[in-house]
Amino acid sequence: MENSLILNWMIMLASFGVLIWLGWKSSKVVVEDEQGDEAGFLLAGRSLGPFVGASTIVATGFSGWGFMGSPGVAYQYGAIELLGNFMFAPAMVIAVLFFANYLSKRAEVLGSCTIPEYAARLHGEGGLGRLVQGVAAIITIVLLLVFLTSQIKAVGLLAAGWLDLPAGYAATLMVAVIIIYTVLGGLTAVAWTDTLMLMGMLIAAVIICGQIFADMSPAHLIESLRAIDPTLVNPQTSDPYGAGKGSVFLILPYAFMFSAVLPYMAVRFLAFRPDVKFHRVAMYVAPFGCILSLIPIVGLYMRVKMPELAQADQAMPTYLNTFLHPALGGFITLCILFAMKSTANSLLHTVASAASHDLRVAVNPMHSNPKTTLLINRGAIVLFGFVGLLMVFFAPPTLLSFLGILGTGTLLATLVGPIFVSAIWRGNAYGALAAMVGGFVTSGGLLLFTDAGWVVGPLTGCVVSSGLYVLVSLMTMGIQQRVEMA
């Protein structure tokens, strides 16, 4: 046991060194752009190629909920989670093929460095535009802090058992390292470290599936689950995603919007090099996503092997400690921690950008000294990193996946009108504001106070947001024109 613990610490410290080194190397992109705008820090200098771009998209999209939350949902609800998880790979491919190019080119023309800024510049100038940017930034900060809390909590739970530390100490250690390399290199550091992390995640997924199917054939696994509870393999509903049996298929449009609209995902589309062909990006995204979609099998396997776990979210940590050699389990644990960090660093970067750039511009649009703005950007990362850490200690005892859905699903419903619908039909600032408020209230209310389902709630919010965007824009076209001319 002592030797295994020493090995775990050696692996972890080595990984810290590599991540911080990548952050330091990537800081050159920030330095090169320091005399211009903030694109060096916020958008990786618009330098991402197809492989790195695809890697950071997939690593961020699957990550912590895929390796910790998703097996827990599969353990509790059964094979419905496996089907739901598979919806994310094609959804990401569709988003890359049919929306990324438009968003990237349009944002470059508008000079947008963030998604709230894109929404603002698309819908108006002056005070109305700044109001859109400020409201979008505040909602982004609030909701992504909820998701960031779930990621930090998951990192702390897993690292605590692996390194034999109290969960609070483990979470603090992980957050500190994330802050260091993100502060150094901004989105470049996030993308480069995500690429390294994704390679580990893919290897971990292959090893896990190899061990499970070497021990138990798919047919045996299905029969064993059916013996425990027939609904685990033949569900009568799509719980936790919705009451209808076909509600699980709503994950496809949800995951598409997830990839195309959420600020911490969509900002990657803005960071690609202008010469990148997005069909090449999709060629990497597809196999990466399909491999990682297999991870919920762990939850099904553990339901057969250990059906009496006290907490469903312990399915993956218990599996690693029980069914794998300590060295192999240590490596895969590191890869899972990588998975969680890949989303945590993206969330932290996006929240900090919303505060240090979007709120600052909304309140004071005057151009600031580049060195000052870079200092503000970096200071916001440190601040919100520790805010997220403090929130972990007050997080309710609920499934980690639910916290993720609450944050991302509600933010998706908030921004779908001004970001996605605007690509089809352009509204105005009043429509954008009404859409954001309506989507926020609808999705958040359904998730917190009803049993509408994890996907049904946000998608209902998307419908309300889209309807309000069009309706209010039509009703106020003349008003906005008079305000802008005044």
Of residues 370 and 61, more confidence is placed in: 61
Q: By three-state DSSP, how is residue 131 classified?
A: helix
Cβ–Cβ under 8 Å, residues 280 and 50: yes
pLDDT at 396: 63
Task: Please state the rounded mean pLDDT for residues 94-117.
Answer: 92
pLDDT at 207: 92
Asked if pLDDT for residue 306 goes beyond 50, the answer is yes
Position 148, amino acid:
L
CA distance 40 to 140: 21
What rounded mean pLDDT belongs to the chain? 87
Asked if pLDDT for residue 417 goes beyond 60, the answer is yes
> Can you list the domains of the chain with their CATH numbers?
1-399 (1.20.1730.10)
pLDDT at 473: 93
Of residues 217 and 314, more confidence is placed in: 217
Task: Please state the rounded mean pLDDT for residues 389-402.
Answer: 72
pLDDT at 35: 46
- Is the backbone peptide bond immediately before 240 cis, with ω within 30 degrees of 0? yes
Confidence category of residue 152, pLDDT binned at 50, 70, 90:
confident
What are the pLDDT digits (tens) for 1-60?
567 788 888 888 888 898 899 888 887 766 555 545 677 888 888 889 999 999 999 988
Q: By three-state DSSP, how is residue 49 classified?
A: coil
pLDDT at 401: 64
Task: Please state the rounded mean pLDDT for residues 342-369.
Answer: 86
Task: Please state the rounded mean pLDDT for residues 171-195.
Answer: 90
Task: Please state the rounded mean pLDDT for residues 308-328.
Answer: 84
**Residue 374 C-alpha from the chain's centroid:** 24
Confidence category of residue 442, pLDDT binned at 50, 70, 90:
very high
CA distance 429 to 434: 9
CA distance 395 to 403: 9
List the single range of 49-58, 109-118, 235-244 with lowest mean pLDDT: 235-244
Q: How many residues does the chain have?
A: 486
Which residue is listed with tokens 């995902």? 265
Using alpha carbons only, give the angle 346, 352, 358 rounded to the nearest 5 degrees.
115
Most confident by average pLDDT, 6-15, 152-161, 240-249, 349-358:
349-358
CA separation (Å) from 10 to 1, 5, 271, 319, 395?
14, 9, 34, 22, 31
Asked if pLDDT for residue 362 goes beyond 60, the answer is yes
CB atoms within 10 A of CB 398: 11
CB atoms within 10 A of CB 363: 10
CA distance 420 to 406: 20
3-class secondary structure per residue, 271-325: CECCCCCHHHHHHHHHHHHHHHCCCCHHHHHHHHHCCCCCCHHHHHHHHHHHHCC
Asked if pLDDT for residue 437 goes beyond 50, the answer is yes
List the single range of 36-40, 208-212, 280-284 with lowest mean pLDDT: 36-40
List the single range of 39-53, 72-86, 156-170 with lowest mean pLDDT: 156-170
pLDDT at 281: 96
pLDDT at 33: 54
pLDDT at 341: 82
pLDDT at 1: 53
